[in-house]
Structure 1
Amino acid sequence: MDEGAFGRAAQERAIAEVEAEMARLCELLAEGLAMGVDEGREMVGGAMSEFLVEFFDLARAEGSRPGVKAMITLPLLVHGAETGEPGPAMPVAVLHLLWWASARYLHDLTGVAGAPSPGGAAAGGRVLTALAVGGQLPGRLIAGLPACAAVRAALADELSRSWVDAVDGRLRDLTERAPNATPESVLRGYEGRAGAPYAMAAASAARLAGAVDHRVAGWRAYGRALGVLRRLADDQRDLASGRYEDLAAGTATFLLVHLLAELPPARRREALALHAAARHSASARAEMASWMLDEEVAESYAASLAPLIDRAHGLLDMLGGDPGCVRELHRVVDGTVGHLPGLPLAVA
């Protein structure tokens, strides 16, 4: 496979095919819900329709497109690295996208300002839709794969592992507070919440390709490392865009914890007070963001991220495989870290 065999045009075609397949699956699910009780049909079917509109609008949005592209192309490129053929991993790309669609719905119901009341019909519909999209559709997809029973069981195991690890990461995210957080504890949460689904996608593609166990483990580690980098980039995007969702939620992000560790005691206390006020004050959020986006902070933050970036590239170098796909996977890492402060990378 030469360098251009899965270049940008081929990737865009693959993304369009995956999105079309995902829409088809969700429409089938919505139709299936029509066979249920009238009240459930109205509630869940309405949530499904809302989901279809919201998710695909998000997927096509300019700021989200690189993230969706990475979700889809990761398993294709891993399968290509193992076999020279990315195409057979298309079902895994669909699984990965369904995972994130479901996770987004669940995230909006946990710790997000303006979320529907947990006891309300709207929240109930979203929970049921998330369970169907993230659990039942992937299960049906895996069961229908033209693969042996052992491979299908391994894919189901990867999917289950990703959800357990991600729930652990989200719980850490919800309960860990800035005064007690450490860079290590934050990264552990990121490995679950963001690293787990990328680990699942990479490992599942490797299993579908027939990779031996130690290579599957290597691809799982690469996926997890990439997912952590994507979460770090999302943190940065939240600040740069002015949304400040993490500040409003009181989330102890890696950048915040890094800033706190760099400050002398008196300034640290000031920063913690400002961070606490940011949950309820727009002006406090803007001021806290300016602290976090300071040039000196960005420089030291970039240095702290270098080992994480080196690990992702190092895993790829160790795994090897089809040269064209491996080069593209390196570009996925570079494209992700190009959004991080202090790392103005020019991505090919």
Structure 2
Amino acid sequence: MDEGLFGRAARERAIADVEAEIARLCEVLAEGRGIGLGAGREMVGGAMSEFLADFCDRVRAGASRRALEGMITLPLLVHGAETWPSGTRRSPAGPIAVVHVLWWAAARHLDDLTDAPGAPSPGTVAAGKKILTALAVGSHLPARLVADLPVSGEVRAKLGDEVSRGWLEAVDGQLRDLTEPASAATPESVLRAYEGKTGAPYAMAAASAACLAGSDEGRVTGWRSFGRALGVLRQLVNDRRDLDSGRHEDLANGTATYLLVHLLTSLPAGRRREALALHAAARHSASARAELAAWMLDEEVVASYAAAVAPLVDRAHRLLRRLGGEPGRVRELHRLVDETAGHLSGFRLAVA
């Protein structure tokens, strides 16, 4: 029987194949060939190659390794769920996994420009180079990869639409995240932002894989919804890691995270005003950040937060059950949801 992506060894091979393809892409770009670049365009090729290599090095060295594996396996598993065992080692959805990784490489660099310590100052040559290169890597390079796929014009157009849709919805979510003050945010408004800023790229990856598999529009829509639900859970994990690490970057940036807003909505008026004052001070005060983080990680707050998050996990599983497909791949997708949700239980560890 075809092992597909069921076993650990097969999953690791599939991830290694995609990583090798990204490494090959870096070489091609560095040499100024391929992807339709004309002669004398080695500046952009070299910049993109350096950019991607730096992203991969950072992922390998940090806690983002597991997140990268999820980015890669999602489209591979969705494609397999739609097409059933193909008997081939390499998934035809490998290019979609590459596009998904390219999107996140660009997004993380753009995000770093707004809040990472040591980020180049706006208006400098270094900042301008990062912005231009991120745009090339995240949007135009995927477009070139999609254009080179051996698929029909109809499928190619659908894939291009998914990439474009993902970008616009993600930007919408990020703008909401950047502009909505904690005092005005609600759990519903935060989730709407999360559905864009992190849900949209996962939705793009899942829907693109279904398009590549030749699925009908109804199933593509269903997989898009599942990818979005998984992406929201991934954002909740990111929030948790920021607190658990002690970096408190979200508090320093004034971000209205789901956990923060959950805390605010559970407090009486007087305590809510106190928490909002701490949140305002947290932009410039490490002690204020630490104090507010302790509020957010209070055992009772964490328990009620877990209860609020549980329906989001259940929805992802429910979408998978409704979609169905090849049983082994669907089982692996359920496992991916559970693995993601499992990181959220770490809040209890953080207060132990």
Bin for the TM-score computed over the shorter chain: over 0.9
Q: Confirm or deny: 8 A CA contact 1:218 1:315 kept in the other structure.
A: yes
C-alpha deviation, 1:260, in angstroms:
0.4
Q: Which runs of 5+ in 1 are unaligned?
A: none
Partner in structure 1 of residue 244 of structure 2: 240
C-alpha deviation, 1:110, in angstroms:
2.8
Query: SS at 1:179's partner residue?
Result: coil
Q: Confirm or deny: 8 A CA contact 2:236 2:258 kept in the other structure.
A: yes
Q: How far apart are the structure 2 equivalents of 1:334 and 1:313?
A: 9
Q: How far apart are the structure 1 equivalents of 2:159 and 2:114?
A: 28
Partner in structure 2 of residue 20 of structure 1: 20
Q: Confirm or deny: 8 A CA contact 1:302 1:342 kept in the other structure.
A: no
Partner in structure 2 of residue 66 of structure 1: 66
Partner in structure 2 of residue 55 of structure 1: 55
Query: SS at 1:339's partner residue?
Result: helix
Partner in structure 1 of residue 78 of structure 2: 78
2:310 to 281, 286, 306: 306
Equivalence map 1:271-310=2 (5 Å): 271-310=275-314
C-alpha deviation, 1:91, in angstroms:
0.7
For the pair 1:145 / 2:149, whether they are aligned, the reply is yes
Partner in structure 2 of residue 100 of structure 1: 104
Residue-pair matches, total = 341
Partner in structure 2 of residue 326 of structure 1: 330
Q: C-alpha offsets along residues 110-169 of structure 1, whole Å, 9 cap, x if unaligned?
A: 344542122111011101111111122211110111110100110000000000001101
For 2:171, the aligned partner's letter is V
Partner in structure 2 of residue 116 of structure 1: 120
C-alpha deviation, 1:100, in angstroms:
0.4
Q: How far apart are the structure 1 equivalents of 2:27 and 2:133?
A: 12
Q: Confirm or deny: 8 A CA contact 2:77 2:330 kept in the other structure.
A: yes
C-alpha deviation, 1:47, in angstroms:
4.8
Partner in structure 1 of residue 235 of structure 2: 231
Structure 1: 4+ residue segments shifted above 3 A: 1-5, 33-37, 44-50, 111-114, 341-344
Q: How far apart are the structure 2 equivalents of 1:226 and 1:136?
A: 25
Equivalence map 1:248-267=2 (5 Å): 248-267=252-271
C-alpha deviation, 1:326, in angstroms:
0.3
TM-score (norm 2): 0.91
Q: How far apart are the structure 1 equivalents of 2:223 and 2:59?
A: 25
C-alpha deviation, 1:36, in angstroms:
4.5
Query: SS at 1:109's partner residue?
Result: helix
Q: Confirm or deny: 8 A CA contact 1:2 1:324 kept in the other structure.
A: no
For 1:26, the aligned partner's letter is C
2:163 to 156, 159, 162: 159
Q: How far apart are the structure 1 equivalents of 2:118 and 2:59?
A: 22
Q: Confirm or deny: 8 A CA contact 1:236 1:341 kept in the other structure.
A: no
Q: How far apart are the structure 2 equivalents of 1:5 and 1:47?
A: 34
**1:46 to 1:25, Cα distance in 2 relative to 1, 3 A:** closer
Q: Confirm or deny: 8 A CA contact 2:96 2:209 kept in the other structure.
A: yes
Query: SS at 2:150's partner residue?
Result: coil
Q: What is the CA RMSD across the aligned residues, in angstroms?
A: 2.2
Q: Percent identity?
A: 70
